[in-house]
Structure 1
Amino acid sequence: MRLMDPDAWKVEQAPAIVEGVDLLKNHRVHSDLGTLDCGGRVAAHVVMGNTSYFITTNTHYVPRLPEVDPKQILIRRDIEKFCHLPAIPKAPTHPQDHLAVMWWNPTPDDFVCPASGMTLTRGLGRIRGARFSKFSVRTHALIKEYEQYVKSLPTGTKPPLLLPQLVQRLQLSLERLRMPSTYVRMVVGVTTVQREYLELTGLLRYMTKYRPRLDLIDPADTTQPDDCVGCFTDDPRIAQILWKVCLPCWLIRPLKAFTDECILKMVVPFAATDFLEMNPAAGFAPVLATDRLDDRLSLLHCTENTPWYRNPFEGHVASTAAAGGPGVGLAGGQSARAHSSRGASSSVSLRGRGSPYAAARTESKARKEKGPGPKLARDKFLPFDRPEMPTTISLWASALAAVDRSRPPSCGADLPQLYVMPEPALLASPDDPARRRMLYHHYTLLRYALMFRLGDGDEPHALLTTQQWRDIVQGKITKQGKAGSHAQARSASLEELLRPAFSACSMDDLTGFPVSPDAVPPLDVNRTKELLWELAEINFRYEFLVLDARASGLNRPDECRTCFASPRLIGMEFNESQRGFAARETDELLPHLLCMAGFMRDWSVPCERPKEIDNAKGRTQWSADSIHGLENAVTKYYTASFYELFGRAAVVPMRLDSSHTFSSAV
């Protein structure tokens, strides 16, 4: 898609006589044009198959019907079921128009990759931040318009089912656009956001402007059609409706049916390919469809809205329940169970009996039973302090430290400690600064590939243990070590696990791992704080989703994501580190606490729920002290519940101080 050149609307005049039929024989300049003339301002002659047709319209131009495979999805010819499609706004002619970004084509200059030497991925990047911001601003404004429309409906009236579906699709597509991807996928992601935005705009316009015109609640005061895409139809009744509500329409009739229609001018149709991309994207399978147009459009509008993300904890919960573990598994329908079964197989394979990491766990357990050695293991329930660590949020840190570990958790004490991404303190824990710099550098090199793996819906994402993540950030991602040793088996298993993501990111040569100490760049404390905050936030957001599913027995991840500063699970903006649960102002913090408290009231866990959480329901008056009390209750209940159901310390949110200078790196 692209902006329309203003000269595109300067139509070329065409001959009036076609196959012996004079289409201007009823030309009457000062007569009123009837609805069956479909405006009759201009007309065009086209040949489809072996049949000649004439097209009349209430506009001053005629697009040429695209010639494509009849089983491919096209613009709809009638408006019986999807009547909003003609109301989609037309491409603007000015680049400063607020809709211009929705008709813009990305170029390689809009694809930003990490700086050379700061990643091993090739061809993996993100859409430029300024472009994404334009998409984000327009999308949120449109969603706000939708919310205002819903509020304006009479009590008990629900919006058309397609409206919330389109809103959800648009939100998910915008989130996905911010994730690391290949250039081709970024372009497809841009097109997806544009298409869903424009269709949602068309549906809102139809419900608020054109439907009232059709029902004579707010009749049009002009016969000039609006700047919308309009539609082709061969049904005079549909043409009359569009003429009535002032939407562009092109009525197609066989040339032999021409009788007394009044046509003022004959024009040459312009080709849609001059303004729209009609060729399919390489590497993407076509949408299978039937000959029926209704079936083809239903594929776009009536299928289940499937999120781009899949919670990797689902497999862990399912496998725990299947093994006879306590607690409840995920509930809420076949979709959750199907995802669980996919995730379980891959996540168990690296941790089951006979796996290279099982021996490491056995040795670790034996060392614990013998007592601590000269160096005590890090207590994950206590804050960890390093200059490059983000700032702890005091009540979250206090709540985690206060978790009662005097007895085993209800899930049992032997569950492996699994993480979506490495916990921040894992990278910051070595005492040797040079070793920490190496871990940070290794993670930076692998960061995009690990996020790509987490967001790839085609492959189940295996949760990894602390030791597995430690091996990864130490650079042990290819088969290495003494033949037949546990170390070699562990590195080989990680290479097998990560190879699909590495291949997708064009990381074919990993011989330079681990990186030589001489090649490790100096520590950038600011940038490292951002990356460690991001790790904490990704872990926290995924963990909250699965904790709610496990504690409530409900499958509601989209609702849970409304508790965060943004609904994203990956690709959060670093400025979110001062918002949401990290907000310092109590008025800004309160909505997020109330949101989480609302979900907590559905939880059934073997620890007492603080009364402040129940008392928050319906409360409207809040002082700074009462907000502080609610935060204290929410954080304590969260950390205690996570320990009871998963047997380890939760990864809790952190913040970057207001004095932090955000880096420009992607």
Structure 2
Amino acid sequence: MGAFTTDPAVAQLLHRAGIPVWHIRPKVNMDEIVVDAIVTTEQPELVCQALESGASPIYSGLVGPALFRAVSRRAHLYLDVSRSPLLLRYDQETFRASTSPPERPGQRLAAHERPQGRGRGRANSAARGSHHNSPHPSHTPSRGRDKTVDPVHDWMPRRLHSWDLAMRSVDRSAPAKRQEELWGYWTPEPALLLGPQNIARARRYIKNWLRIRPAWLYLLEHPYARITRVQPQWWRDYLNGEIEGDTPHDETRRSKRLEQVRCVFQVAFDMKDYAPVPDQPIHWFTHRMTDPPSDLCPLIVWELHEIGFRYELLALDRVLVPMLNVENADSLREELLSRVFPDHDLYYVHDIPESPRGLCATIPAARVRSLEAFRQVLVRWPLCPEPVRGADRLALTSAQAQIETVEVAMVTFYVQTFFAYSGRPPIVPHALPPFRES
């Protein structure tokens, strides 16, 4: 028993009544098929790669205030945002201008004087030590403290052995650069913070650095913040708190210098709003303090060495390997240089490690990965010595003697090259000082 129908409504009624039913559909012919559009799937322009081995995420959880607090304190950029700091950036026009003959004999342009890229034309001659047509035989140490030697201070971390050898053996026989040709400092020279003999004053230097540190590091990554030329004396004036208050109306040399310092630091904060409250707490990583404690000061100085070394390495690499016509040159350079550091960040120290790592590791085998990444950077530079360029690839299986020999050769080449171009010793990595959370 059963029924069949061509009406779908009748088929539903019979089915609900429990009667077997066959729904007969009429034959339909489609004479034409119309396609409105064909959509081709494309690879999304998003960063889908996993974090590099060794990198640690700064936050895990839902998007919200906690995420933005983590970003503001631990990193200044999202992973998929391009990072382009203002460090001797080149373009085609400024490169042509820099390679043209100077206006007068002996004139040279220091790299820090032209943030947009001048100073490239006489790069090779600087590496050979031919700095001026009319040499003036004064040497850098005669201008003040010998910066190849760290000051003796309880808060100064120990300099790494290979870097100490390179700094003490730097060749300063070539004529010194003029004062106006010396490179400035992207961050304060760490020894400057420990220069005062008075502990209270040294603590004030460190406190003032920590106050400006988040804004300053953020501005260093901004492509249009012109803050790359800061002389040591200018840093000293700021760290000592001498830029507060109204601008003096006298025309003394000191008042003019303080006005120049204000012009530099006002990119980080409005001077009329700069009125630091002594009891206002300062944040530094996970620490919150009103006065930097003595047991934490060595770590603060250590981090300043790390940051200074990274920015100076990037600046020198921009001079020696301009990559003028290379597509995505900034990204390629950042990717290469960031491998030198265990946190894979070229601009920022993500956290204070519990134990030495990277270039600071105490065991040579633990430094291999960072040393080999450093060697890959140096082999691109002009006049790279054969012990570095021709060395076998450093690996965990490399002999300790081989690792240490190549390390000394690399470090010596870097220090001497930086000195030749900048006219001053570089900021170099130091050993991680011990610290126990109280």
RMSD: 4.3
1:403–1:423 distance in 2 versus 1, CA, 3 Å: same
Is it true that 1:551 corresponds to 2:314 in the alignment?
no
Which residue of 650, 662, 665 maps to 2:426? 650
Q: Specify whether residues 620 and 406 from structure 1 end up closer, same or farther in structure 2 by C-alpha distance, changes over 3 A only.
A: same
Paired with 1:609 and 1:412, the residues of 2 have a C-alpha distance of 28
**1:308 and 2:266 are equivalent in the alignment:** no
**What aligned pairs does 1:94-173 form with structure 2 within 5 A after superposition?**
104-107=62-65, 110=66, 126-127=69-70
The structural deviation recorded for 1:413 is 7.3
Instruction: Using the TM superposition, give the Cα deviation of residue 106 of structure 1 relative to its aligned residue in structure 2, in angstroms.
Output: 1.7
Aligned length: 349
Partner in structure 1 of residue 233 of structure 2: 467
Equivalences for residues 74-473 of structure 1 within 5 A: 80-82=40-42, 104-107=62-65, 110=66, 126-127=69-70, 178-179=74-75, 307-314=82-89, 321=98, 324=102, 340-341=115-116, 377-408=144-175, 415-473=181-239
Contact 2:372 2:394 (C-alpha < 8 Å) held by counterparts: no
SS of structure 2 residue aligned to 1:452: helix
Deviation at 1:602, TM superposition (A): 2.0
- Deviations along 1:339-397, whole A, 9 cap, x unmatched? 953x88xxxxxxxxxxxxxxxxxxxxx9x89x97xxx8211111222111122111111
Mapped partners of 2:155, 2:251: distance in 1? 38
Q: Is the 8 A contact 1:536 1:654 kept in 2?
A: yes
User: Given the alignment, which residue of 285, 302, 308 partners 1:539?
Assistant: 308
8 A contact 1:552–1:602 mirrored in 2: yes
User: Does the aligned pair in 2 maintain the 1:613–1:634 contact within 8 Å?
Assistant: no
CA deviation map 1:535-569 (0-9, x unaligned): 11111011112222323344523211211122221
Identical columns (%): 21
Is the contact made by 2:86 and 2:223 (CA closer than 8 Å) also made in structure 1? no
Structure richer in strand, relative to its length: 1
**In structure 1, what is the Cα distance between the partners aligned to 2:42 and 2:99?**
45
| Partner Cα distance (1:78, 1:661) in 2 | 64
**Deviation per residue, 1:572-616 (Å, 9 max, x gap):** 3111872111011222201111111122222114xx715244222
Q: Which consecutive residues of structure 2, in runs of 5 or more, have no partner in the other structure?
A: 1-8, 17-36, 49-58, 119-135, 280-288, 324-328
Matched residue SS, 1:502: coil
TM-score by length of 2: 0.67
After TM superposition, the structure 1 = structure 2 runs for residues 576-591 of structure 1, keeping only pairs within 5 Å, are 578-591=356-369
Contact 2:148–2:425 (CA under 8 A) maintained in structure 1? yes
Aligned-partner Cα distance in 1 for 2:110–2:81:
24
Match of 1:477, SS state, is: coil
Judge conservation of contact 1:577–1:654 (CA < 8 Å) in 2.
no
Which residue is 1:633 aligned to? Answer: 409
Unpaired stretches in structure 1, ≥5 consecutive residues: 1-21, 30-76, 89-100, 112-124, 128-173, 181-188, 194-304, 331-338, 345-365
C-alpha separation between the residues in 2 aligned to 1:612 and 1:83? 40
Larger relative contact order, structure 1 or 2 (CA cutoff 8 Å, min sep 6): 2
Q: Match of 2:353, SS?
A: helix
Matches of 2:241 and 2:428 in 1, distance apart?
26
The answer to whether structure 1 residue 485 and structure 2 residue 264 are counterparts is no
Q: Quick one: structure 1 residues 83 and 399, their matched pair in 2 at CA, closer, same or farther if it must change by over 3 Å?
A: closer
Contact 1:388/1:528 (<8 A) preserved: yes
TM alignment of 1:56-67, pairs within 5 A: none
In the alignment, the residues of structure 2 paired with residue 618 and residue 447 of structure 1 have an alpha-carbon distance, to the nearest angstrom, of 36
Cα distance in structure 2, aligned partners of 1:650 and 1:476:
26
